[in-house]
Amino acid sequence: MTDERPIGVFDSGVGGLTVLRALRELLPGESTVYLGDTARVPYGTRSAATVEKYALNNARTLLQQADLKALVVACNTATAVALPALRAALRIPVVGVIEPGARAAMAECRGGTIVVLGTAGTVRSEAYPRALHALGHKGDVFARACPLLVPLVEEGWLSGDIPRLVVEEYLRGMPSDTDTVVMGCTHYPLLRPVLRAALPERVALVDGAAATATEVAGLLAERGLARAAPGPLHRLLVTDAPEQLARLSRTFLGVDVPAGDVELVDVLMTA
């Protein structure tokens, strides 16, 4: 038995392509539809009420475009703020990036402090501390908003003095017993070498993209929703500037996507 329906994935913009990439790599038989809400990016600086509204708009838009079997919220801010509302509103399974990220951190942590780097919205939501403590973390959690990192990545400044100094500034004041740092934003894995170099060797550096893909795979298998047939279909949708996603596709998705293959859609404004 096989379920041909695609997996929906949405993000505030292009960052979620790192999660899409992990999904495609782990589940090469599955079709996907990705929506980047590039007309309203970024979510990280916005209020919870606004992010929740946007997340529901995005889910409705994806469901209007395709009959989905599951929805992945590939945006830390939207996951932090809107996951309960999405689960209440939709009849398909909804997977966020924070619980998998927290589980990946727990697998590395040896009882010290876990540092979470994220957007202002993700930090303000306290979703990571909540998830980590629910998973049994006994140490401290230290969350730091890093608003410069997303524009740094989108500018392509991934090495040299500027990203090094910015990362050092954001890691300043990190507790001395820190043993795990979570990249709590889908853009940050592109800065992995810079973060790695700025951290002591004993500190583990984790991101939730691979862990999220694993969680989706388990969920599909468990519910008999997996697809085994060849020839999966992939669609990329944005609410603004398709050429921008195309330009960044090599960096974020690992493949070159022609601008003509990115579809421009209007977001549904009804939540």
Q: Which residues are tagged catalytic?
A: 75, 185
151 is a contact residue toward a second copy (CB under 8 A): yes
240 is a contact residue toward a second copy (CB under 8 A): yes
**Stretch 90-119 residues interacting with a second copy (CB under 8 A):** none
The distance in angstroms from the start CA to the end CA of the chain is 34
161 is a contact residue toward a second copy (CB under 8 A): yes
Sign of CA dihedral 34, 227, 18, 119: positive
45 is a contact residue toward a second copy (CB under 8 A): yes
Contact 252, 18 (CB under 8 A): yes
- Nearer to a second copy among residue 32 and residue 239 (C-beta): 239
**Burial class of residue 209 in the structure, from the number of CB atoms within 10 Å of its CB (0-12 exposed, 13-18 middle, 19+ buried):** buried
**Binds a second copy (CB under 8 A): choice among 6, 9, 36, 40:** 40
Cβ neighbors of 52 (< 8 A, separation 6 or more) are: 81, 82, 85
249 is a contact residue toward a second copy (CB under 8 A): no
Cα–Cα distance for residue pair 231/28, rounded to 1 Å: 9
**Binds a second copy (CB under 8 A): choice among 18, 31, 32, 38:** 38
Q: Is 42 helix (H, G, I), strand (E, B) or coil?
A: coil
Could you tell me where the DSSP H helices lie in 109-259? 120-125, 127-134, 149-155, 161-171, 192-198, 208-222, 242-253
Lay out the site mask for a second copy across 174-213 (x = CB under 8 A, - = otherwise). Answer: ----------------------------------------
- Nearer to a second copy among residue 70 and residue 152 (C-beta): 152
Binding site for a second copy (CB under 8 A): 38-41, 45-47, 50, 147-148, 150-152, 154-155, 157, 161-162, 165-166, 169, 240-241, 244, 269
